[in-house]
């Protein structure tokens, strides 16, 4: 009989990890799932193996990443400037333009087989946004979406001030396996966003939970809330990481 949908997800916290190291780990898990799906096509149903799902949480040292559809001129630093800021720069294989990752920012990389959930990338992106919106609501912040723009914003409707991006997103998928994901600004050094045109958008600001509330938050506390909202929105079951 055919495999049943696997709603279990392995949750791992990678701590503060170099961007390239985390990227390589994502690629390893991603390739493993893609290869398994290809192998399953050649096997009888009773010999097929289910693919696994992962939520990887981490922070990165200062780094700028440019998506495959991005414009390199949106990085406002040359090589010497990057060295002065102790920052790295990578061109990567997700969608979207340029963004910044650094300490004080929660990064989440879902490696999911969407065939266990739904086969709709737009719904996948909206679900990730929804989990962030619910997390921010836990802190009394009214966040939402801006039509035509990916990510989560404050000031997304009239009367809430200038639009301010608080969470960026970019994904890659193949055979309905996802990688890359989202970044939520909790307590980062926002001056690093001044070295780029974030996501190629020139007329909107970047913010953090710390800036909006005027206090520093526990990253582990925010991460736990975000994890629980992701589990709920995607109707996943957390299992002990293997």
1 located within any domain: no
Q: pLDDT of 151-181, one tens digit each? A: 999 998 888 788 999 999 999 999 999 999 9
pTM of the model: 0.93
Q: What is the enclosing helix (H) or strand (E) of 210?
A: helix 209-213
58 has catalytic annotation? no
Q: pLDDT of 93-149, one tens digit each? A: 887 788 899 999 999 999 999 999 999 999 999 999 999 999 999 999 999 999 989
- Please name the residue that has the structure tokens 């990064």: 107
39 located within any domain: yes
Domain that holds residue 113: 8-237
Q: Which of 199, 205, 206, 230 is catalytic?
A: 199
CB-based burial label for 59 (10 Å; 0-12, 13-18, 19+): buried
The conformation of residue 196, written as its DSSP 8-state character, comes to B
Backbone conformation region of residue 175, classed left if phi is above 0, alpha if psi is from -120 to 50, else beta:
left
Q: Count how many domains the chain has.
A: 1
242 located within any domain: no
State the CATH number of the domain containing residue 102. 3.30.930.10
CB-based burial label for 102 (10 Å; 0-12, 13-18, 19+): buried
């Amino acid at each position: 009989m055919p495999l049943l949908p696997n709603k279990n997800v392995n949750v791992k916290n990678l701590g503060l990890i170099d961007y390239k190291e985390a990227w390589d780990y994502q690629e390893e898990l991603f390739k493993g799932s893609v290869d398994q799906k290809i192998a399953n096509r050649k096997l009888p149903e009773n010999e097929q193996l289910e693919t696994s799902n992962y939520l990887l949480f981490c922070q990165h040292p200062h780094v700028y990443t440019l998506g495959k559809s991005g414009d390199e001129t949106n990085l406002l630093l040359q090589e010497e400037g990057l060295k002065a800021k102790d920052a790295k720069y990578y061109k990567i294989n997700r969608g979207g333009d340029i963004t910044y990752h650094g300490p004080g920012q929660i990064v989440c990389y879902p490696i999911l087989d969407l065939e266990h959930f739904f086969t709709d990338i737009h719904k996948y992106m909206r679900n990730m946004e929804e989990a962030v919106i619910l997390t921010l609501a836990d802190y009394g912040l009214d966040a939402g979406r801006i039509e035509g723009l990916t990510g989560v914003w404050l000031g997304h409707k009239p009367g809430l001030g200038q639009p301010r991006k608080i969470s960026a997103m970019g994904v890659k998928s193949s055979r309905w396996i996802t990688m890359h994901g989202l970044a939520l600004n909790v307590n980062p050094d926002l001056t690093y966003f001044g070295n780029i045109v974030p996501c190629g958008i020139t007329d909107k600001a970047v913010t953090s939970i710390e800036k909006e509330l005027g206090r520093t938050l526990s990253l582990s506390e925010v991460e736990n809330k975000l994890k629980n909202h992701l589990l709920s929105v995607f109707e996943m079951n957390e299992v002990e990481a293997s």
